Chain A
Amino acid sequence: MSARALQQPLPLRLTSNVFLALWCLIAAFPIFWIMVQSFKTPVDAYDSNALNVILGPETLARGHGMSALQILLGIGAIWLTIRLASRTLPAFVRSSLNGKQQWLGWIIGALVLGVGSVVVLFGVVPWVSGVLNPMLGPLGVDVVGLTTEHYKTVWVERGFFRNFQNSLLITAGVVTISLSVGTLAGYGLARSGSKLAFWILIIALIFRALPHSVLVAGYLPVFISSSEWLAPIFGENAPTLYGKPFAVIAVLVAINQPFTIWMLRSFFQNIPAELDEAARVDGCSHFQAFRRVIMPVMWPGVITTGLFSFLLAYNDFLVTSLLLDAQNQTMVPAIAGMFNRETTTTDQVVAVAAAVSITAPLFFLVMVFQRQIVSGLTAGAVKG
């Protein structure tokens, strides 16, 4: 009886679905809109008529456009990417690789797919349609205005590529170090029921709540004058920590640590303690048990935690903007500088294109790792 009794009456189901559709619209609209704007000339991007922004007549008049064929090809390519990213890649990695290979498989697979989709969308599709357009008559005529010039401005002229490299360096550093330090601590804390372990977790919880600006206020004077107080150790070559990526990596790892150890601890607690006991009986030391027995079954948890470390490092504005100088700047503070400068509408659209460039990898990340992200969000919460 339960299935029928629990079923909602039709009007209620309809309202519920309408509201759900409305939520999806609200959730996706701002992101969708900046994406559309970034492909238009300034006049179209800031038109007050929504249809003009989407169709882009001014952009079309300037000779940048897409034909029906191109649109079809583009939609096909995007659909294929989504399909590959959300179904094929996860299924492939899960079924045919294990343990450490899986970790590598995720990274390489995601990278190949990301680069591949950019190449197909911006290289192959325009080329194919360039060949086919003249042959197709009405199908080959440009109908929607669309230009990639703002992306060229951002990545080539404004040197956004260097910011991208810095972001890559910092996120890669933060993820690897905070995972290696965090897994050790998470395992230790999960397996030890001592008072000390409990107090460390409580203190980590307090540390998680600290505003980052408080910590940066502590770092800044020390980092700026570091060549003086490091001189007794390093002599003449004492580095100034201010502006150095490795210093920022260390800072972000530490800020990330409380969250990482709480999350990893809850994943380790899900692995039965009998497993390490069995390994210990067979003569493993604690470290060997950790490395050979526990880590191989722990990879899903590590990947999930790694995702959240990645997000923290990639999204950070406060720490990187205060502790890095202009030449080592990452993408997010760089774009803040860009929109503060926006004087002409072209500058604004360029800033929009930069914003979309920052968002694209995250979009891709959600596609590939949706399941891991959801499991990470609920890991700490549902168990209380």
Chain B
Amino acid sequence: MKFKTFAAFIGPSVFMMLLFIAFPLVSVFQQSFYITQPIYDLVDVETCTPGFVTQTCVTETQSVPRLDEEGAIITKTDFVGLQSYRNVLELGRAWDALSSGSWAAFQSIDFWKALRFTLSFTLITLPLVICAGLGIAVMINSAAKSVRGPVIFVSLLPFIITPVIGALSINWLFRGDGILTAALEWYLQRDIAMFAQAWTIEILMMFYRVWHVAPFAAIVFYAGLQTVNQDSLESAIIDGASRWQRLKYIIIPHLMPLIVFISMIHLMDSYRVFEEIVGFSSQGHVISLQWLTYDFLVPDQAGNRSISRASASAMLTMIGIALLLVPLLRRTWRDHQGGH
């Protein structure tokens, strides 16, 4: 294929990716060093209230945003260097908290709180998803042919459901006196409030994520199981391998590339954990890195969006993404080299 034809084929797609992915990345990087804010003037305002004999007058100094001819607020953009990063990281407070050995104080800083949750969420759900997916795949594979279709249909439901709705549906089972909280209370004979402390919410979120992703893993593994070499299985049986040994020494090594693939996809996706925070409305207790950026972008009561801080936290989130991507890129690179 000539370069010109190739360029014509991929042109539109590359153009869109450059315009809407690469360009915003550059602009976020740039924004993180600048702060745009209204210009305030200090104005002495004298307020007088009618009183007996004389008026009572109070003079106070107010800061008033400067307006242009059309009445719009004039803003100015300043280069502030790493100030936004400092505002997000709050290194001073974090250091004080750590040196005094107070984990609670450390976790009261939004960024570190979000980082702690995002990392523990990612690392705890990973093995759970792999094990659950593998288990479901093996079970589907050994089930009768006639039930496989319906089982796969039911399994697809948690995967395909809108993430916010999926999180909500589990939230509603436990919220207040939801049906499962009521059942737990009846079983344990004590009051339970699932949404009053962080750790129960985190458990529910992790459960939701495993519920949501395990079907994907299961279907990929199930497809992989169809290609297991039957001859090696037979020879293993002849050699007296038990079921467990066959799983361990033949099936799992065969599925290894798929396990690596699922792990990478899962690491990338769960590092971006966000919908759970919305669905469980947990922002009072638990937040994630992507939610932190989102929160800076949502206008506050005065209608201002802290774009600069959002950009700084976005760039900090990117560091983690870069670290996660290194093994994935190395693998793709190796495959490419091997393929030629």
CB contact list, B135-152 vs A, under 8 A: 135-136, 138-140, 142-143, 149, 151-152
Is A78's CB within 8 Å of the partner chain B? Answer: no
Who on chain A is nearest to B15 by CB?
A181
Seen from chain B, the residues whose Cβ lies within 8 Å of a Cβ on chain A are: 1, 3, 5-6, 8-10, 12-14, 16-17, 19-28, 31, 36, 135-136, 138-140, 142-143, 149, 151-158, 160-166, 168-170, 172-173, 176-179, 182-183, 186, 211, 215-216, 219-220, 223-224, 227, 230, 233-234, 237, 243, 257-258, 261-262, 268, 271-272, 274-275, 278, 281, 289-290, 293-294, 296-298, 305, 307, 310-311, 314-315, 317-318, 321, 324-325, 328-329, 332-333, 335-336, 340
Q: Please name the residue on chain A nearest to B178 by beta carbon.
A: A46
Which listed residue, A182, A220, A335, touches B13 by the CB 8 Å rule? A182
A16 lies within 8 A of B182 (CB): no
Q: Which of A107-115, A118-126, A247-255 lies at the binding interface?
A: A247-255
Knowing A5-B237, A382-B258 are in contact, say whether A24-B335 is a contact too (CB < 8 A): no
Q: Do A46 and B297 have beta carbons less than 8 Å apart? A: no
Which residues of A sit under 8 angstroms from B307, Cβ to Cβ? 217, 220-221
Interface string of A37-58 (1 = CB under 8 A from B): 1000000001010100100000
Q: CB distance B275 to A362 under 8 Å? A: no
A46 to B6, CA, bound (A): 60
Known: A20-B143, A204-B17, A366-B156. A378 touches B223 (CB 8 A): yes
Interface residues of A (CB under 8 A from B): 1-2, 5-6, 8, 12-13, 16-17, 19-20, 23-24, 26-28, 30-31, 33-34, 37, 46, 48, 50, 53, 86, 181-182, 184-185, 187-189, 191-194, 196-198, 200-222, 250-251, 253-255, 257-258, 261, 286-287, 290, 311, 314-315, 317-318, 322, 332, 335-336, 339-340, 348, 352, 355, 358-359, 362-363, 365-367, 370, 373-374, 377-378, 381-382, 384
Are B1 and A23 in contact (CB-based, < 8 A)? Answer: no
Chain B min CB distance to A332 (Å): 6
Which chain A positions have C-beta within 8 A of B22?
A: 207
Q: What total count of A-B pairs have CB within 8 Å? A: 298
Determine the distance from Cα of A3 to Cα of B257 in the docked complex, in whole angstroms: 27
Most buried by A among B261, B278, B332: B278
Taking CB atoms, residues of chain A closer than 8 Å to B289 are: 211
On whether the beta carbons of A185 and B12 are closer than 8 Å, the reply is yes
Q: Which residues of B contact A363 (CB under 8 A)?
A: 157
User: Is the Cβ of A382 less than 8 Å from the Cβ of B156?
Assistant: no
Cα–Cα, bound, A258→B10 (Å): 12
Q: In the complex, are the beta carbons of B31 and A217 less than 8 A apart?
A: yes
Q: Do residues A335 and B329 form an inter-chain contact, with CB atoms below 8 A?
A: no
CA distance A134 to B23 in the complex (A): 68
B162 touching A314 by the CB < 8 A rule?
yes
Q: Is the CB of A217 within 8 A of B297?
A: yes
Across-interface contacts of A202 in B (CB, < 8 A):
329, 332-333
Least CB distance, B227 to chain A, in whole angstroms:
7
Inter-subunit contact A46/B219 (CB<8 Å):
no
Chain A positions within 8 Å of B329 at CB level: 202, 205-206
CB-based contact A370/B155 at 8 Å: no
Q: With A206-B325, A382-B258 as known contacts, state yes or no: A184 contacts B13, CB within 8 Å.
A: yes
CB neighbours of B136 from chain A (8 A): 20, 23
Lowest 8 A-B CB distances belong to which pairs? A218-B24, A188-B9, A254-B20, A185-B13, A48-B182, A378-B223, A213-B293, A30-B169
Beyond the given A188-B1, A218-B26, A317-B162, please list 19 additional residue pairs across the A-B interface where CB-CB is below 8 A.
Answer: A6-B233, A20-B143, A28-B154, A50-B179, A185-B14, A194-B6, A207-B17, A212-B272, A214-B24, A221-B31, A250-B16, A257-B17, A258-B21, A317-B274, A318-B274, A322-B298, A348-B172, A359-B162, A377-B220
